[in-house]
């Protein structure tokens, strides 16, 4: 098959899963995301597909396929991927079996059962595999079996660092296939091509060239890509798709790299950060200080708008007495420098912290591509039309107006006193 297989990304966020699947050879023909700002970021990065800013529970499969058709694609979908909101399964806080967010996985089942793709990927937090959630997980598998799908057993928790990411990040991955197609297996990290998979094998490899650029405070002005080093192991971060992202479509980009926005620290904090040993936590803030030749700790999203809108604790740079910037976090998450995020620290870090690591998503997508008899050498790589970069700075009200949805679909941010 020389045409790109078609994938839909549910609960897409900014597009970490979408990016990895496109890098594997898929076209992302539609995404569904309830957050208006995250939807804008996905739309900016994947302008060729249909971006649907809507509650999935209110979306019919017919509407979804009609949106795909309106973008010029066919209705035969090869893959549906998605990660329903995970807070109800998280081991970080109190787990609630009856958390209404947990029911979103069955909306995912509904969409898959109605559209009937050949394969599906569901990503979530490891907490979903705990004993407390076994009845829910068993019901999930049973429903898929009733709809003509098999789920690969045993369900596995994968660590992205084993697939080449410079970050310890464990995620539960559920893989399924229609009964009439070739069965899947989890990608084997023990036989990965070193040149492709281990390009981000340490924190230093991922972000060292960014260390020479002072972070911006308050406003991001962009950095000329000529000031960064994209040779050898860093070529996959280049401002045009290369390395592990070589199969991605060509985006219209300038020579500027964005996201080098950081926080202003007090002199006291700076001294404490400088005194902290790499690989250890700073004693007052409990921020983890990165070890240059080690892996990043798991980057997290922080709290939602109705819980104070706090960014999650960000790691301290291994060499500089400051927390990492948005672009450094993106690199540690394996996003290339051409991929764009919201221009504010809060939204930018939430997008990265919520995202699937693209490199892991690529390995998952490649496993499926190998079962679809796709000729990767003949896949078309398009030059995409530019999108207005002003979208990357929209506030919630502007984003909601763009999508013509209620601006309070995500509760308003509470002001901290």
Which architecture, in CATH terms, is 200-352?
Answer: Alpha-Beta Complex (3.90)
The conformation of residue 288, written as its DSSP 8-state character, comes to B
Instruction: Please give the average per-residue pLDDT across 65-92, as a whole number.
Output: 84
Q: Which of 293, 297, 217, 305 is nearest to 260 (CA)?
A: 217
Cα separation, 394 vs 344, in Å, equals 10
pLDDT in tens, 87-99: 555 444 444 545 5
pLDDT of residue 252: 86
Three-state SS for 26?
coil
Q: What is the CA radius of gyration of the chain?
A: 20
Peptide bond into 71 cis (omega under 30): no
d(CA 315, CA 13): 22
Report the predicted TM-score, pTM, of the whole model to 2 decimal places: 0.93
Active site (annotated) includes residue 86: yes
**Residue 316, class by beta-carbon neighbours within 10 Å (0-12 exposed, 13-18 middle, 19+ buried)?**
buried
Pick the CATH number of 6-195+356-402 from 3.40.309.10, 3.40.640.10, 3.40.50.150, 3.90.1150.10: 3.40.50.150
pLDDT digits (tens, 9 = 90+) for 308-333: 455 678 999 999 999 999 999 999 99
Report the DSSP pairing between strands 27-32 and 50-52. parallel
pLDDT in tens, 210-256: 998 989 988 899 999 999 999 888 999 999 999 999 999 999 878 99
Place of tokens 């399964």: 89
Mean pLDDT of the 378-382 span: 96
Count CB neighbours of 148 within 10 A. Answer: 12
Inform me whether the pLDDT recorded for 388 exceeds 90: yes
What are the boundaries of each domain within the chain? 6-195+356-402, 200-352
Average pLDDT of the residues in 46-51: 98
Alpha-carbon distance of 278 to 292, in angstroms, equals 8
| Six-digit token string for 303 | 């709290």
In whole angstroms, what is the distance from residue 253 CA to residue 179 CA?
Answer: 42
Provide φ and ψ at 266, rounded to 5°: -75, 160
Residues 6 or more apart whose CB falls under 8 angstroms from that of 22 comprise: 28, 46, 247, 248, 249
Say which of 14, 86, 248, 323 is annotated catalytic.
Answer: 86
- The CA distance from 241 to 25, in Å, is 13
Picking from 300, 365, 369, 353, the residue whose alpha carbon sits closest to that of residue 18 is 365
Assess whether pLDDT exceeds 80 at residue 198: no
pLDDT at 95: 47
């Amino acid at each position: 098959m020389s045409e790109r297989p078609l994938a839909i990304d549910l609960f897409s966020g900014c597009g970490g899963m979408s990016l990895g699947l496109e890098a594997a050879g898929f076209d992302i023909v539609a995404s569904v995301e309830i957050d208006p700002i995250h939807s804008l970021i996905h739309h900016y990065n994947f302008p060729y597909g249909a971006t649907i800013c809507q509650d999935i529970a209110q979306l019919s499969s017919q509407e979804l396929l009609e949106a795909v058709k309106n973008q010029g694609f066919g209705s035969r979908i090869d893959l549906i991927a998605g990660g329903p909101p995970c807070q109800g399964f998280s081991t970080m806080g109190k787990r609630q079996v009856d958390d209404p967010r947990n029911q979103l996985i069955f909306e995912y089942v509904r969409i898959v059962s109605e559209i009937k793709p050949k394969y599906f990927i569901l990503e979530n937090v490891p907490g979903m595999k705990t004993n407390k959630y076994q009845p829910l997980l068993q019901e999930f598998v049973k429903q898929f079996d009733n709809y003509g799908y098999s789920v690969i057993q045993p369900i596995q928790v994968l660590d992205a660092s084993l697939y080449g990411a410079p970050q310890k990040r464990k995620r539960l991955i559920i893989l399924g296939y229609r009964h009439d197609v070739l069965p899947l297996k989890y990608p084997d990290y023990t036989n990965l091509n070193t040149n492709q998979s281990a390009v981000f094998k340490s924190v230093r490899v991922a972000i060292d060239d960014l260390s020479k650029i002072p972070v911006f405070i308050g406003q991001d002005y962009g950095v000329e890509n000529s000031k960064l080093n994209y040779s050898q192991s860093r070529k996959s971060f280049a401002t045009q798709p290369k390395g592990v992202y070589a199969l991605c479509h060509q985006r219209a980009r300038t020579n500027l790299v964005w996201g080098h926005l950081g926080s202003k620290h007090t002199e006291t904090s700076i001294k404490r950060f400088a005194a902290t040993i790499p690989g250890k936590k700073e004693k007052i803030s409990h921020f983890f200080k990165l070890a240059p030749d080690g892996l990043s700790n798991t980057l997290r999203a922080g709290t939602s708008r109705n819980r104070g809108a706090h960014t999650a604790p960000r790691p301290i740079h291994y060499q500089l007495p400051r927390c990492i910037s948005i672009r450094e976090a993106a690199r540690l998450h394996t996003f290339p420098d051409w991929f764009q995020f919201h221009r504010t620290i809060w939204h930018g870090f939430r997008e990265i912290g919520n995202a699937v690591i693209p490199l892991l998503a690529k390995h998952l997508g490649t496993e499926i591509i190998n079962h679809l008899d796709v000729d990767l050498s003949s896949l078309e790589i398009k030059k995409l039309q530019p999108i207005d970069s002003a979208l990357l700075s929209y506030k919630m009200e502007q984003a909601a107006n763009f999508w013509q949805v209620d601006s309070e679909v995500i509760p308003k941010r509470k002001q901290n006193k």
